[in-house]
Structures are given as C-alpha cells and as structure tokens.
Structure 1
Amino acid sequence: MEWRSYYLDMMLVPVAYLVNVAYHVWLWHKTRTQPFSTTIGINAHARRFWVTAMLKDIEKKNILVAQSLRNLIMGSTLMATTAILLSAGLAAVISSTYSVKRPLDDVIYGAHSEFMIALKYVTLLTIFLFSFFCHTQSIRFLNQFTILICTQQEATSLVTPDYLTEILEKGTVLNTVGNRIFYSAIPLLLWIFGPVLVLLCSIAMLPVFYNLDFVCGKVKMVLNDKSDLV
C-alpha cells in the first residue's frame, strides 16, 4: 500500500469529520451554557412544562399524550428501519464478490483499491448501526414513558414528574443523536466518489445545521427576558 495513493483520503476525510465533531461540541457547549440560544435547549425546557401540564389533567389529556408520543415513536421507528435496511444492504455488498467498477478514476481523486472501497463500506455500515442503536433505545424510553405517565400520582409513588421528565428527555436526546449520526453518513456516501467531496459536503452542512440548531437574535432576547421573570 503506497502512501501516495492514500494521502488525500487520510487527510481530507479526518478533517471533514473533525469539522463536524467540532461543530457539535460547540453546540453542546452552547446548549449547556446558553440553552435558550439553541432549539435543543428551548425544546428541552418546553418538554418539562409539557409533562407537568399533562399530569395535571391526565384523564382528559390522555389521548393527546398518546398521539404526541405516537408521533415521536413513529419518527424513531422510521429512522431505525431506514438505518437497518441500509446496513443490511451494505453488509450484502461487503460479503458478496461484487467488484466496483471505476469509470471515473481519471476524474475523481483519492484511492480506489479494494482495501479502500471495503473501508468505505465498513465505515458506512458502522455509522448506520450506531444510528439504529440510538433510535431503538429512544423507542424503548418513549414506550416506558407512555406506560408510566398513566400511573396514579401518589405521595409514595416513585414515578414522579421529575422521573417522567428524565425518561422523556432520554428518549428525545437519543432520537436527536441517532438523527445526527445518520446525517453524518451523507458525506461518507460521497466518499465513494472521492475524499474531496467529503470535505465539501461537511462544510456545506454546517450552515444548514446552524440554521436548524440556533434561534434568531430577537427570539433569543424574548426568551431570555421570560427566563429572567421565571
């Protein structure tokens, strides 16, 4: 294995993922220190109030709770099914005698050896399996929450509103993590055609993630004012 045929893959692909990891570390830091500046922090704050509001009149709002949790479970189920189907397809490709044709070798940069092609597919398979694991655990916690929220709230009960909020938070956080792991496979799909596209795709995804994860300045000021009043 010669260094010259692999140096682009060994340089650009790790840099692309370091960019992605650095953004999510920064997002986690912002969510912890300035929760109302991110949609993740705002949604977590709203879920705590949602659990309390549903428990106050659960007999009348049980259908609303069931419908809301059904939507969350269906979303996680869809992503888990997609991830495991893609994993099964990649496993079939890896285990078969399929040889990838290389009509674009003169155009696409990077290594095209059998080892590198196998590495690309194995990496994709691993990422999809991790996404599947996170979504199945999310479904597990959401199913637990569906049962526990309908229990009677007594003074001696261990199922407290704080415990229910923690269960719901674990389910939604695992759903978010599973989605982000799934999205991280998009640049790797382009890695099949060369490492340059991996770096370009990772950089192009940053403004998309930023617009989805952070609220605008005016909304942030209003939320901060309300938090001060609370």
Structure 2
Amino acid sequence: MEWRKYYWDVTLVPLGLVMLVAYHVWLWHKSKTQPFTTTFGREADSPRFWVLVIIKDIEKKSIIAIQSLRNLMMASTLMATTSIVICAGLGAIISSTYSVKSAINNDIVFGTHGELMVGLKYAVLLAMFLFSFLCHTFSIGFLNQVNILMFTPQDDKSLVTSQYLTQLLEKGILLNTVGNRLFYSALPLILWIFGPVITFFSLIAMVVVFYNLDFLPGNTNTTLENRNSIPFPEA
C-alpha cells in the first residue's frame, strides 16, 4: 500500500517530537513543584531580584543594567539572524530544481524520499526556524522596552512599576528561551533529510542533553513552599 512507504517517517519522527514535548512538559511541572531541582526553577525569581536591585540604585548601576540588557539582546539577535538565514537557505533549496533525493534510495534506514515527504520535511524545518526567529524578535522588543522604561521616575503616580518591569523582563527571557529551544530542537530534524532513523536517535540524544542542562543534582525534596519563604529585597 502507498502509506507503507511513509511508515518510518510518520512513526519515528513524530514519536521523537512527542518525547521532546513530553520532556518539556515534565520540566515545566518540576520547575513549578520542585523548583530547586531545575535551573529554570532556581532562576525564576532572578528577574524580580535584578529589577529591584537596579531600580534601588539606578544612578550607580545604570551601566550594569544597560550592559546586561544589551547582552541579552545581542544573544537574541544572533539566534534570530541565524534562524532567518537558515530559513532563506531552506527556501532556496525548496524553490530550486535540484533534488537531494536522487543520491539516496528509499529503504528502512533512509525512509521515503518522494516529493510529498521531501516537501513535508522542508516545511517542518522552515516552520520551526521561522517560529524561533519570531520568538527572538519578540524577545528583543520586550528587552528594548525594559531598557527604556528602566530609567523612568518611580513614584506613586507612575504606571511603570517594578512589577511591570519584571513582567516585561520575564516575557523577554521566556521568549528567548522558547526561541532557543525551537532552534535546538530543529537541528536534529535537519537530519530527517537523510532518514527518520537517525533523526529519531538524534531527538533522543537532544532530550538527554536538555536533561543534563536543565536538572541539578541534590535538593530533590525542596518544594515550592521552601522557595516562597525566601525574602525579597524591597525597592
């Protein structure tokens, strides 16, 4: 039957992506319930601390604030530029008459390389890199807002409060993180051009890499109640 030619492509690759999504759902749950076991949980309150400390002594720490926000924006700019360049390259390949499937036969290891499947592979890659680009550009916008509003006068009538600045900074950091994860997750999918088996094992390897980066040893019994007991500095 016709669908059997796409069997490995429609089973292994979606399974790998489901594992990747399931890992991030589990990571989010752990960051909320046991924050001290993950890097995201430990750093969740960092933007709030940072904003309060900077606002408290803005005249002396203005250079630190500008440099810190600039570094974040430069990182997002680099990733956004890389993503859009890859998108342009993929668009050029899709529109070209050259076919990468001619040198690879259809089999179990390399999967199917018909026109439909090749088009699907490039479309998925293009979508992931494009969403990574959008997340990074949105992140740059929020960080720019923080950079400007950080120096507005803080008084009782001002609508730009430390809570508002913290929300903007958290959105910028979150979008930067999502953009990075989309970019890194799309890298194994590039290997899908050569076959679904190698893509599946690459996605598993990416989950292992993420796990070693996201989770910290020790303090596994520390819960959200322990974290809420940490005092915050006052602006």
Counterparts in 2 of 1:51-200, with a 5 A limit?
51-105=51-105, 108-200=109-201
The alpha-carbon distance between structure 1 residues 143 and 105, as it changes in their structure 2 partners (threshold 3 A), is same
Q: What is the rounded CA distance, in whole Å, between the counterparts of 2:61 and 2:86 in structure 1? A: 38
Deviations 1:146-201 (A, max 9, x none): 00011110111001110000000000000000001111111211101111111101
Q: What is the rounded CA distance, in whole Å, between the counterparts of 1:104 and 1:224 in structure 2? A: 56
Q: What is the rounded CA distance, in whole Å, between the counterparts of 1:96 and 1:106 in structure 2? A: 22
Aligned residues: 230
Structure 1 position 208 matched with structure 2 position 209: yes
8 Å CA contact 1:36–1:224 kept in 2: the answer is no
Long gaps (5+) in structure 2? none
Identity of aligned residues (%): 59
Q: What is the rounded CA distance, in whole Å, between the counterparts of 2:227 and 2:65 in structure 1? A: 26
One-letter identity of the residue aligned with 1:40 = F
Q: What is the rounded CA distance, in whole Å, between the counterparts of 1:157 and 1:219 in structure 2? A: 42
Long gaps (5+) in structure 1? none
Aligned-residue CA RMSD in angstroms? Answer: 2.1
Q: If the length of structure 1 is used for normalisation, what is the TM-score?
A: 0.93
Q: What is the rounded CA distance, in whole Å, between the counterparts of 2:225 and 2:64 in structure 1? A: 29
Which residue in 2 is equivalent to 1:47? 47
SS of 1:217's equivalent? Answer: coil
* Farther-moved stretch of structure 1 (113-122 vs 20-29): 113-122
Higher relative contact order (CA 8 A, sep 6+): 2
* 1:36 CA displacement: 2.4
SS of 1:136's equivalent? Answer: helix
The alpha-carbon distance between structure 1 residues 218 and 34, as it changes in their structure 2 partners (threshold 3 A), is closer
Q: What is the rounded CA distance, in whole Å, between the counterparts of 2:106 and 2:98 in structure 1? A: 22
One-letter identity of the residue aligned with 1:4 = R
Q: What is the rounded CA distance, in whole Å, between the counterparts of 1:106 and 1:7 in structure 2? A: 12
Q: If the length of structure 2 is used for normalisation, what is the TM-score?
A: 0.91
* Farther-moved stretch of structure 1 (178-187 vs 35-44): 35-44
Q: What is the rounded CA distance, in whole Å, between the counterparts of 2:230 and 2:137 in structure 1? A: 39
SS of 2:103's equivalent? Answer: coil
